[in-house]
Structure 1
Amino acid sequence: MYAVVRGADRPAMDAVGIDDAPLRLLVHGAVAAVVADVAVDRPPGRRADLMAYSRVVDDLLAGGVVVPVQFGSLMPDEASVVEDFLAPNEGHFTELLDQLEGRSQFTVRATYVTDTVLREVVATDPAVAELRARTKGQPEEAVYGDLVRLGELVAQEMEAKRDVDAETVCDAVAPLTVAVNVTAGSGLEAVVDLTCLVDDDRRADFEDRLEDLAEILHERIHLSLVGPVAPYDFVEGAPWG
């Protein structure tokens, strides 16, 4: 199964899904499921399968509101899709479709310009600067303890910076979204990932805000944007969750 759409929309089923299987539409009342056959001896799980699934769901979005079904969801036959999936959940799917109408998902990824931020850490923390100078050019085994301490201090400083910078990005983006899911970054590069549900009529403002923010932060932080795609992360309470 790929997605749930409005039964009245009846999107054209001229595309193919995983393993080039033809898509078809199973309707029950106000909702319909987009499905295709799949080989039972090899359940979907390859990267190519995920890409085919995403292509189908995102193409459906171009024709109207869509509720993505979790990748890899299988039912034994058409009757099961209608009787066990659509019928008992028709009301919930209708509510989800209403909530997601005219909205799309975007992902904002913020990553550090690592050299710039590490220079900030060295410049603002005397202990880091001292340890860096002490260990520079020395054999690792001779300064191992200092290197461990240096790594710990840098990690602490980066975490503090990340908290502040992630909040800056979130505060700039959130007012132009319906909802935001936040995934904290880790390591030296990742600052934060934001999965955003955006009204289509605010998309231009949302993208303009990101462009302005990217210009302000470009020396320290790189911003990338993926979307619009179907609202994969905003189907709360779905029966496969």
Structure 2
Amino acid sequence: MAKITNEIKEIEFWEHETLENIYFTIYQDLNKMIEGLNSKDKIKDDWINAFNRVDKKRQNSDFARGAERIYFWLFSQFGKPNSSPIGADMFFETHRAFVHIDIKTAKLDNPSDYKGKIPISENQTSYSSKKKRFNTNLPVYYNEGKKNQKLCLTYVINIVYHEEGDNFKIKAIYLIAIPNGALYSVYGDDVIGQGKVKGKSFRFVYKNNPHFELIKGKPYRVKRIFLDEDIKEKDIIGFEL
């Protein structure tokens, strides 16, 4: 491992602090979140036929879009939204950082999109590798070197759902912190897996190192928000919190 500077320690500190803040924002309104995510069922008869006519990939994207609306609602007081065209589904400016939060949905029968790993696109990360080549469009800092410099922090809310006919049941929801690009010297290539689009994405294999390595006690980079009672945590994230 390369020399760990105070700057790198500070980046990881704020990464962890922001993870806890996001978790608190969600968890304090947990019932509100679940009700919101299930609100689609009230009018299912009016959208299910159109939904079933599109391909499976488009269905997953549409399912995620519906979930995004609920999280925009829940995060209304989290920070100031930013209109940058390059970034995650939700993008906020806080006192300390610019924070990207992406909503990722995965079908229970497609573990390539969960089970200890999460697909990350070029507009959702600053983490890059010299050995495993893929593009990243986010900076380590916004306005680096300027008076208004702020960290770029990235997170994912991973929703795993099960489809039974025309019914869609949420089985698990996890919050995951993606390392800032400056932390490559800490996490290296061990957390990098093959992406969905060659050269433009990677899978963050957090199960290979799910901890904040530089924080006392090494807390997890993963927070459980919801887990259905008939699902084992290890089957969703690859380990037990």
With normalisation by structure 1, the TM-score equals 0.26
- Indicate the structure with greater strand content: 2
Higher gyration radius (CA): 1
Which structure ranks higher in relative contact order (CA pairs < 8 Å, sequence separation ≥ 6)?
A: 1
